[in-house]
Amino acid sequence: MSLTFSSGPLAGHAPETVNYRIEGPAHRLLMHAFPRRVRAKFGGEIVADTTRAVLLHETGIGPQVYVPLDDIRADLITPTEHHTFCPFKGTASYWTVTAGGQVAENAIWAYPEPVDEASWLRGYAGFYWGAMDEWYDEDERVEGHFRDPYHRVDVRRSSRHVRVLLGDTVLAETTRPLLLSETGLPNRFYIPAADVRQDLLEPSDTHTYCPYKGTASYWTVNADGRKLADAVWSYPQAEGDSATVTGCQSFLHDDLTIEVSAPA
């Protein structure tokens, strides 16, 4: 994401604050080796097992893992008549995966004859992530997608005064927020739960997963006769570099006002 989105070096429009210009197409591709073992599991069978995976970064699209066709179980896949065309990569052929009594139609694609500018894609195949039951990075199960090595998260303690309001109602107020900076995304303040009006929040059934932070739980704001669905979230057990925000809550909704001021 960090290479191909926002002001990244492979974004469709180069940032103004550089002393270089990339001479090339506005839609860019970059493929590089993924340095660990990758496995995909479906219907109780290992469909792909490789130490030769690559990540393809593509302008405006998150990185996609590709694996050598030779490292895919040939007895579990069947070619189909489905084809698609990408002007930057060529015509894609597709395979259906059948294993353990389950079928994932057109779950795998490859470019048998890629365009010259992407000739290095020959021999590699991509998977629709959700078509497989499980993915593994070495022996750790991966949710969401593989982490982008150019994407990072930093959390810093702050003494700035942060208030969250719905109209004149204060939903949260703190002078001890955590500031989370994530590549390609706006900064987010995370507020200790003790500094949030929990009586104005209703637990939601919504959950989302972020490969860099973990599984998020959500709340609906219910105040002054108004309900703002899933306007608050938290990571009960944040992962990796985000671990510090565990249990803290963040707010985002068009009807909310977030005031930030310097320490007194």
pLDDT at 17: 80
Residue 6 lies in a domain: no
CATH of the domain at 84: 2.170.150.40
Judged by phi (left if over 0) then psi (alpha if -120 to 50, else beta), residue 11 lies in beta
pLDDT band for 6, please (50, 70, 90 cuts). Answer: low
Residue 109 lies in a domain: yes
The answer on 132 and 176 residing in a single domain is: no
Going by C-alpha positions, the residue among 178, 186, 241 that lies closest to residue 213 is: 241
Residue with tokens 């992530």: 129
The answer on 159 and 135 residing in a single domain is: no
pLDDT at 21: 73
pLDDT at 264: 67
Of 87, 115, 141, which marks where a domain is finished?
Answer: 141
pLDDT band for 14, please (50, 70, 90 cuts). Answer: low
Q: How do residues 207-252 score in pLDDT, each as one tens digit?
A: 999 999 999 999 999 999 999 999 999 999 999 899 999 999 999 9
For range 150-167, the mean pLDDT: 96
Whole-prediction pTM: 0.82
10 Å Cβ neighbour count for 33? 10
The answer on 206 and 248 residing in a single domain is: yes
Q: How many domains does the chain have?
A: 2
pLDDT band for 183, please (50, 70, 90 cuts). Answer: confident
Residue 67 lies in a domain: yes
For range 28-48, the mean pLDDT: 96
Residue 65 lies in a domain: yes
Asked if 1 contacts 62 with a C-beta cutoff of 8 angstroms, the reply is: yes
Residue 3 lies in a domain: no
* Domain extent for 43: 29-141
Going by C-alpha positions, the residue among 126, 133, 124 that lies closest to residue 106 is: 126
The answer on 184 and 134 residing in a single domain is: no
Distance, in Å, from the CA atom of 116 to the CA atom of 120, rounded to the nearest integer, reads 9
Rounded to the nearest integer, the mean pLDDT of the chain is 93
Going by C-alpha positions, the residue among 220, 223, 253, 248 that lies closest to residue 235 is: 248
The answer on 112 and 183 residing in a single domain is: no
Q: How do residues 65-98 score in pLDDT, each as one tens digit?
A: 999 999 999 999 999 999 999 999 999 999 999 9
pLDDT at 190: 98
Of 100, 121, 141, which marks where a domain is finished?
Answer: 141
pLDDT at 93: 98
The answer on 59 and 162 residing in a single domain is: no
Asked if 26 contacts 12 with a C-beta cutoff of 8 angstroms, the reply is: yes
pLDDT above 80: residue 20:
no
The answer on 229 and 177 residing in a single domain is: yes
Of 108, 141, 174, which marks where a domain is finished?
Answer: 141
Going by C-alpha positions, the residue among 1, 248, 22 that lies closest to residue 148 is: 1
- C-alpha dist (Å) from residue 118 to 8, 36, 77, 107, 255: 21, 23, 25, 22, 46
Residue 13 lies in a domain: no
Q: How do residues 113-147 score in pLDDT, each as one tens digit?
A: 999 999 999 999 999 999 999 999 999 999 888 98
Please report, rounded to a whole number, the percentage of residues in the chain having pLDDT higher than 90.
Answer: 80
Distance, in Å, from the CA atom of 201 to the CA atom of 219, rounded to the nearest integer, reads 6
- C-alpha dist (Å) from residue 99 to 41, 78, 253: 9, 11, 43
> Length of the chain, please?
264
Q: How do residues 203-212 score in pLDDT, each as one tens digit?
A: 999 999 999 9
Residue 125 lies in a domain: yes
